[in-house]
Amino acid sequence: MDYSQFLNMHDEISLIAVIVILFLADLFLCGEHKSEMASKAMSLLPSGLLLLQTAYIASALICPCGNGIVDAFGGMYHNTPMMTLVKVVLNIGTIIVFLMANNWLKRPENQVKEGEFYLLTLSTLLGMYYMMSSGHFLMFFIGLELASIPMTALIAYTKNNQESAEAAAKYILTALFSSGLLLYGISLIYGTCGTMYFNELACKFDTNNTLQLVALVLFISGIGFKISLVPFHLWTADTYQGAPTTVTGYLSVISKGAAAFVLFTILFKVFQPMIEQWDIIMLWIIIFSITIANIFAVRQNNIKRFMAFSAISQAGYLVLGVMGGTAQGMTSLVYYLFVYMVANLGVFLIINVTEQNSGKINISDYNGFYQTNPKLSFIMTLCLFSLAGIPPFAGFFSKFFIFMAAFNAGFPVLVFIALVNTVISLYYYLLIVKAMYIMKSNEPIALFKSDSYSKIAIVICTLGVVFGGIISCIYGYIDILSNLSYGM
């Protein structure tokens, strides 16, 4: 066997290197009694190393040698520049999550398990890398499981908290159920086609084959659990509410984004002959996701639960890019993912600092927030406006592009329903803004100063929200990469 093939997987190998270094650092630096130095090093090291790794894999995008498409292990591993770009986006999100988590991890009860948080998070990230760059269903399945098994441990991170354990139980049971369905679907694909390589599968599908249709349905439901689209969303609200806030932020953006991108590539590559069938399935799933999640979001009081329903509805918008499987759809999906990531993480950052400093997580607790913390409430408003899609924030442009892609793919009715739902979503996002600015409260959340790591993350998110839409070269650049990698 040719071991030099491993070196073709730049992104994954560099991430594994980061994980190993962090593991050793955790071994020698962490413990019951940490010195000041070790504690400082442990907060800087993970984000710093991940930043270096991001720069390393992004350098391949700036000066591409050849067409940038990498194959290894006989097609098991397949990477295009577009996938590398999505990995860079996910990395940025993970860095923001690390900055967000820092203050929380320094608490006395989390001191001993500080390193574990970083290791588990990076393991799930590695799983998503492999899931995206897979060229074979085995690789895809292993990546998917590597992304979801450590996630359970992250959700149950606060060990003595019953809510956290309950959320983890609900997550792992539904994840197991969905992987059971997915596995059965893959077995039917293997039985009807005799191979599991993506590039060999495409020509072996036949729309009249019932087993293959069942396989398609099982595949969509298996991955629908991961993206938490509407009939498969029931775990989402409970898990998001019970998990630690940083983990909720990670769950709502990073794992969802990776799964949505994989859904696009596999539907396009493998299920290409069945495009009419999966277009209809996705059409109804998107309509239900957007509408039902919006209706449920209106009646929530816990802000994490509220954001869970908002995330389900945003996932519906995200997979609008899948419709029709066009290059434009791929571009707008990745752009939407980027914009959604900065806006959603911005909201979660503010929820997190508020929870850390005052312990309050209900929407009614935010009454009078503007009087005491004007800067934070202003930034939260920007992020919520971006999520709702109000110009000139980035969210408007991302929604516009994704609607345009779905419209050009030939789904005007779907775009119309999505537009109507944007208005409903504006209503419930404004409920929070109203609580912060207009509602009076006898005991508002007192003025607090957020820690410097969170501040850096908040600045990154705010810049992304404000300038992500105006700087048009971002979309143009994604479009170039998308056209380069389309169909590969």
Partner 1 sequence: MDRLNDILNIVLGIHVDISWFLILSALMMFIGIYGFLTRRNTLAILISVELMLNAADINFAAFNRLLFPNGQEGYIFTLFSIAISAAETAIAIAVMINIYRNLKNNFVGNLDKLKW
Binding site for partner 1 (CB under 8 A): 137-138, 141-142, 145, 149, 152-153, 156, 159-160, 162-163, 165-170, 172-173, 175-177, 179-181, 183-184, 186-188, 190-191, 194-196, 237-238, 241-242
CA 221, 487, 276 angle in degrees (round to 5)? 45
Tell me how far, at minimum, the Cβ of 467 lies from partner 1, in Å.
Answer: 37
CA–CA gap between residue 99 and residue 457 (Å, rounded): 6
Tell me how far, at minimum, the Cβ of 1 lies from partner 1, in Å.
Answer: 15
The amino acid sitting at 7 is L
Residue 179 or 373: the one with the smaller Cβ distance to partner 1 is: 179
Residue 49 or 186: the one with the smaller Cβ distance to partner 1 is: 186
Give the burial class of 250: count Cβ atoms within 10 A of its Cβ; 0-12 exposed, 13-18 middle, 19 or more buried: buried
Tell me how far, at minimum, the Cβ of 169 lies from partner 1, in Å.
Answer: 5
Residue 206 or 470: the one with the smaller Cβ distance to partner 1 is: 206
Tell me how far, at minimum, the Cβ of 303 lies from partner 1, in Å.
Answer: 14
Tell me how far, at minimum, the Cβ of 141 lies from partner 1, in Å.
Answer: 7
Residue 152 or 422: the one with the smaller Cβ distance to partner 1 is: 152
CA 239, 453, 120 angle in degrees (round to 5)? 40
Structure tokens at 477: 């650049």
Give the torsion sign (CA, 116, 120, 121, 122): positive
Tell me how far, at minimum, the Cβ of 293 lies from partner 1, in Å.
Answer: 14
Residues in the chain: 488
Q: Is 70 helix (H, G, I), strand (E, B) or coil?
A: strand
Residue 167 or 465: the one with the smaller Cβ distance to partner 1 is: 167
Tell me how far, at minimum, the Cβ of 485 lies from partner 1, in Å.
Answer: 27
Residue 167 or 445: the one with the smaller Cβ distance to partner 1 is: 167
Tell me how far, at minimum, the Cβ of 156 lies from partner 1, in Å.
Answer: 5
Query: Measuring CA to CA, how many Å separate 412 from each of 230, 337, 406, 408?
Result: 21, 22, 7, 8
CA–CA gap between residue 380 and residue 382 (Å, rounded): 5
172 sits in which H/E element: helix 162-193
Rounded to 5 degrees, φ, ψ at 136 are: -155, 145
CA–CA gap between residue 214 and residue 310 (Å, rounded): 30
Residue 101 or 181: the one with the smaller Cβ distance to partner 1 is: 181
Among residues 377, 376, 402, 397, which one has the least CA distance to residue 386? 397
Tell me the sheet residues that pair with 127: none
Residue 61 or 169: the one with the smaller Cβ distance to partner 1 is: 169
